Amino acid sequence: MTLWLLDHLLERIVRTGTLTRVWVDGRRRGFGDDTGPEVVMAVHDRRLPWRLLLNPSLALGDAYMDGTVTLPSADIRQLLDLLCRNLGTGSAPWAVNRLARAARFVARRAAQHNPAHRAADRVAHHYDLPDRLYDLFLDADRQYSAAYFLSGDDDLDTAQAQKKRHIAAKLCLAPGQRVLDIGCGWGGLALHLAQHQGDASVIGITLSREQLRIATARAERAGLAQRVDFQYRDYRHLQGRFERVVSVGMFEHVGVTHYRAFFRRLHDLLSDDGVALLHTIGRSDGPGATDPWIRKYIFPGGYIPALSEILPHIEDSGLIVTDIEVLRLHYAQTLAHWLARFQANRAQFDAVHDARFQRMWEFYLAGSEMAFRHGGMVVFQIQMARRQDAVPLVRDYITETERRHPLPPPVTPPSRF
Ligand SMILES: C[S@@+](CC[C@H](N)C(=O)[O-])C[C@H]1O[C@@H](n2cnc3c(N)ncnc32)[C@H](O)[C@@H]1O
């Protein structure tokens, strides 16, 4: 019965590609149309089909982490690519889609309560992991957000430098301005703005003590401690006025029930002639819910918004939207780089984390890439101001500013601090 159930699910899902499943007792069966490379999926637990039926994403992620699904002929990226390509084309069983949609609707609000005390624990869960982990897959500047690829051949460090320059251009920085970076990570963007873009004075805030320690040491080492100040602080507890406010890859932690407060705070922190830029992952297919596996293991409290969920709160705050860019596939490419680096550095990983943790991280990176390739995920860059004339009349200033700023030399990796 359980094998029948698994085969029924696979029959309905896998229409293109070549999947061979190997059951607990060694029995094999093929699915798909025999195109593309064969992916062999071995199942070692008879209960898996029921779990897949009830909670597909959680069950598959758990099974991969626990080793109850193994992939003798492929890696997790190929399996997820095959499954997501098929699910994305709408060939998933109708009932599964309907159930998933209903569950998403109920789960969405319940999971998004993210008050300040909980936000700090949730950030620590992810960003206070042993420091070396991030060196094994991120670029030298530890940019933990989508890079910006001008060409498919750009390497990761170049694409991340292009991302910082692109954001700086949209901020229209003038010399000596005060900038706030909400969710500053290990400090790379703040240091870039202070060093290469008009001598800005920057305050960067994070809820990770480990990030704060490293970002502060980097500012001191660069001789920028007078102009770049990193603080352990929640965005709700910040006072002051800034000519520029930027937030990159942080809004995903805010939670949908806090958007109103977030944009009101942003409005109050921005000076009258100020410019703000929000860079966040978003959904192009309308409101949804956080994938249960991602919520459980990677980003508790995280939520990816649709534009329709963000814009009403910007309008309500008194800010005006002056520009929106939708970056497609840049994050898929970034994640492919991260996964390739992670896999290339596996030997070093062994010293730090056990095999289960490694499979968890691999599933996270590969699954996220597929969400951008096939699942409607994109990145929104939303520029906002309090006044219509805060930015130039036409958009050419963005590329012109980028042209005037050659990419800076490579940075010293944070791991040296
Ligand atoms: C994915 S990282 C992005 C870091 C950096 N901007 C980058 O692009 O590499 C998210 C950052 O948001 C910060 N963060 C999350 N929730 C926050 C909050 N409530 N207040 C301030 N920072 C927060 C985290 O500490 C972390 O630095």
* Mean pLDDT, 10 residues at a time, the chain of 417 residues: 93 96 97 95 96 91 96 94 81 42 45 66 68 89 97 96 97 94 97 88 96 96 96 96 98 96 98 98 94 90 95 98 98 98 87 87 96 96 97 96 90 69
Q: What's the pLDDT score for residue 381? A: 98
Evaluate: CB of 248 within 6 angstroms of ligand 1: yes
Q: What is the CATH number of domain 116-404?
A: 3.40.50.150
C-alpha 35 – ligand 1 centre gap (Å) = 42
> Got the DSSP string for 185-206?
TTSHHHHHHHHHSS--EEEEEE
Residue ID of nearest Cα to ligand 1 atom 19: 234
Residue ID of nearest Cα to ligand 1 atom 5: 185
Q: What's the pLDDT score for residue 64? A: 97
* Predicted structure pTM score: 0.92
Q: What's the pLDDT score for residue 417? A: 61
Query: Which atom in ligand 1 lies closest to the alpha carbon of residue 119?
Result: 19
Q: What's the pLDDT score for residue 102? A: 41
182 in Cβ contact with 246 (< 8 Å): yes
Q: What's the pLDDT score for residue 90? A: 39
Task: Indicate the domain borders of the chain.
Answer: 1-87, 116-404
Evaluate: CB of 368 within 6 angstroms of ligand 1: no
Burial class (CB in 10 A: 0-12, 13-18, 19+), 153: exposed
**Selection from 73, 65, 81 nearest residue 363 by Cα:** 65
Checking ipTM against 0.95, whether it exceeds it is: yes
| CA distance linking residue 190 with residue 206, whole number of Å | 12
Coil, strand or helix at 127:
helix
Evaluate: CB of 56 within 6 angstroms of ligand 1: no
| CA distance linking residue 324 with residue 320, whole number of Å | 11
| CA distance linking residue 199 with residue 132, whole number of Å | 31
